[in-house]
Amino acid sequence: MSGHHESHAPTRDELVRLIGKPVPKNLKTIALVLAVIGFGVFIAGAAMGEDRAWQAFHVNWLFFTIPASAAVMFTAVQRITTARWSRPVIRFMEGWVAWLPIAFVLLLVTVFFGKGHIFPWTHEHIAIPEKALWLNPTFWSARVIFAFGLITALSLWYIRTSVRVDVGLLPEWGASWAKGLRDGMRRGFGEERREMHSTHSLQGKLAVYLALVFGFGWSMLAWDLSMSMDFHFQSTMYGWQVFMGGWLVNLMVFSLIVRAWRNHLGAHDIIGENHLHDIGKLCFAFTAFWGYLTFSQFLVIWYGNIGEETHFLRLRMMAPWVNMSVSVAFMVFGAPFFGLLGKAPKLFTPTMALFAFSSMLGIWMHRYLEIYPNAHLEATSLPFGLWEVGITLGFLGLWGFSYLSFMDAFPRMRVVWMTSPYRDEMQIPVDARTMEPLPAHE
């Protein structure tokens, strides 16, 4: 680890001054322009009845939404493990929650208007009674909306509890559009020590609930929104393999945005090389885990050699999809795994950025391969053009705008958890009413 671990303990006033540095306005403008252009392309495609516009929409919904949900789950994991190393950087990940309510609205668009353009089972006869029941359009729609709605609601509740402590104790700061939200958070806010303990206790419960809902909910959503593209195929590892790809994208982006905020805020004394190294190690670890899941699924299908399973992979190993399939394995696993073995590539920004972009692009291609082959069984060349590029840029712009809006509206670091004299008491649970330590068995 780095030699300047915990090199500087900033005061609360220093941190408040530090996080107040405004984000360049042109960043939000660029994001908004991309969003308008990209969604203009989508609306044009949808109005023309172009299936590929809907399919590109769905690929990008999966690509951007799973990492955003994983980001909230990662912050909840920090609470479950009572981690302290991440306090200076974790708010940069909490900002991803702003995408989830937008994603919920976009999912409703897919469910009510787009599923016939995306999923082959909506206009094919399903002979197997159990699968016909599971993919009944009404049951499918209700299930998908409920599962993602519950994940979104719990995620928003969890991040609100985290942000509330800083909003309640720091001077009024942030974008004017969110003043009502901040005022609502301050209502009924009490004394610092009591608020920290009650928040820590509530987050402990919410984090565990979120972990259960995230794991089961995304497994089911992966079956319904991705695996059902080929309703003859099923794999018990499919859900894990899909949502852990999103988890990996989240960590790779995290490795880059922490560097960007560190440089922008001039926070080199607070966010040290030890943080960059720790995040780099997480990127490496989950690259290995994604490779393990992917190869395990492939291996079981290969040695089982059952037609109901092998046709799914066989299709993706034929023209025009095979080159992209092989590229995914190299870009998501091969290059980052061997590239990030050492400490230096994790700390050196150009190498970390290279492997992060390789991984992110590879997972986008993976999402594309989940959706497109079964929708284009007769394709002789890759269906890739205006719809795919335009709509991807639109999603990127809208995600960027939502993220920057959150970071403008709320304190950009967990200032209170970094500076409070009570911050290390949190390792010992107390009764928030009496402030007495709880017996170990509770």
Residue 1's pLDDT band (boundaries 50, 70, 90)?
Answer: very low
Average predicted confidence (pLDDT) for the chain: 92
Give the span between the Cα atoms of 91 and 247, in whole angstroms.
Answer: 17
**Rounded CA separation 164/162 (Å):** 6
User: pLDDT digits over 63-75, tens only?
Assistant: 999 999 999 999 9
Of how many residues is the chain composed? 442
Tell me the C-alpha distance between 72 and 97, whole Å: 6
Q: Helices marked H in 9-88 — which ranges?
A: 12-19, 25-47, 51-80
Q: What is the pLDDT, as a whole number, of residue 194?
A: 87
pLDDT 10s digits, 382-408? 999 999 999 999 999 999 999 999 999
pLDDT beyond 60 at 4:
no
Other residues' Cβ atoms within 10 Å of the Cβ of residue 279: 23
Mean pLDDT throughout 157-179?
Answer: 93
- Pull the structure tokens for residue 401: 């705008």
Contacts of 30 (CB under 8 A, 6+ apart): 397, 400
At 440, is the pLDDT very low, low, confident or very high (cuts 50, 70, 90)? low
What residue segments make up the domains of the chain, in order of their start? Answer: 24-427
Which residue type is seen at 269?
A: D
Helix (H) or strand (E) holding 117: helix 115-118
pLDDT category, 3, cuts 50, 70, 90? very low
Reported as a pLDDT band with limits 50, 70 and 90, residue 285 is very high
What is d(CA 423, CA 49) in angstroms, rounded to the nearest whole number?
56
Query: Regarding predicted confidence, which is higher, 174 or 139?
Result: 139
- pTM for this prediction: 0.93
